[in-house]
Amino acid sequence: MAYNPTGLAAYTKQNVDLLVKNSVFEARTQKEILASGNVLVGVKSSEAIGRMDTDVFFQDDSACGFNASGTTTFTQRVLTVGKVKVNEILCDKDLENYYTQQALRAGGQYESLAFAADYSEQKAKKIAEALEVALWTANSTGSAGTNGLGNKFDGIKTIITAAGGVVANANTTGFYGTPATTINTPAIAKNAVLAVIKALPAKIQGKSDVRIFCGWGTFAYLIQAYVDQNLFHYAPDAKWDDDNAAFTVPGTNYKVIPVHGLDAADADACIYAFRMSNIFMGTDLLDEENKFWIRWSDDDENIKFTARMKVGVQLAFPDEVVKFEA
């Protein structure tokens, strides 16, 4: 006689304290804007970004007299925030029939959330992931998308498109040559970034806060272009991760920063450049996207998650922006 285990399901050891999490990323774009200090707090719906410009006219000073000349102009750009929230119901009774029951308290009334720390951390990261994409691609007149955030405000890419011809186009004969239809080789990526630098308006050339943004696919091609030339000393400026990756274009002080917000199939073939002093982010409460509530509800005996925020972006001077759209 011998054991006959064919009627049993194969056993897999499951550790209730170890939950495998999805690979998520935080909002790099948001961090860059926060670092620049251009965050408008207390925005309930919209706020004007004031702009002032003045010209200068030099006159002959060989005789006495005062002749007024020159004009100082005030204009504004309006930053409108999207008002969004996240609601989820969590019923821990749903965990009773699985290995997750090991994390439940004794008794049948679960007023505190199992895996609360893991859940909170992962939810915050997922919110940051969605914000990163929306900060670039959201369109208030477009589709809500799979997560509902796609049409709550206008992202940077949408704002640049709406600005039209005032934005310098680097994907033209004068800067790039025959316009590119995609960015799918190291050579194209390298030449596209160089074209963006050539197209920078003279008044922002050499400014220390100019940043060039692209998706991670384009960034990888860019690095490969210099590796293929055996220029291994031109490596990314920091560790190759979401928070720090950057590449200073050789011979310049311009940094290329990869952002996941431009990874999507319709956006990865895009490169944008502007001064960080030109981009503004608006919110009602600083770091609001990381503030949420998990509470027990007596009326329906559920645990409820709520997160709410107001967020939006705006460019003060679209004529100081460069785009390369393949």
Tell me the per-residue pLDDT of 187-232, one tens digit each, with 9 for 90 and over. 999 999 999 999 999 999 999 999 999 999 999 999 999 888 876 5
Identify residue 249 by its one-letter amino acid code.
V
Task: Output the pTM of the full model.
Answer: 0.85
What pLDDT score does 140 carry? 95
| Alpha-carbon gap, residue 75 to 173, rounded angstroms | 33
| Alpha-carbon gap, residue 1 to 48, rounded angstroms | 84
| Alpha-carbon gap, residue 17 to 182, rounded angstroms | 45
What pLDDT score does 218 carry? 95
Burial class (CB in 10 A: 0-12, 13-18, 19+), 298: exposed
Residues of the chain where predicted confidence (pLDDT) is lower than 70: 1-26, 231-242, 288-290
Q: What are the pLDDT digits (tens) for 46-79?
A: 988 887 778 888 888 888 988 888 888 887 899 9
What pLDDT score does 257 carry? 95
| Alpha-carbon gap, residue 199 to 171, rounded angstroms | 9
Nearest CA-CA partner of 287 in 24, 23, 28, 31: 31
What pLDDT score does 21 carry? 52
Give CA separation, 191 vs 27, 225, 290, in Å. Answer: 27, 10, 39
- Tell me 146's DSSP state: T
In contact, 92 and 111? CB cutoff 8 Å: no
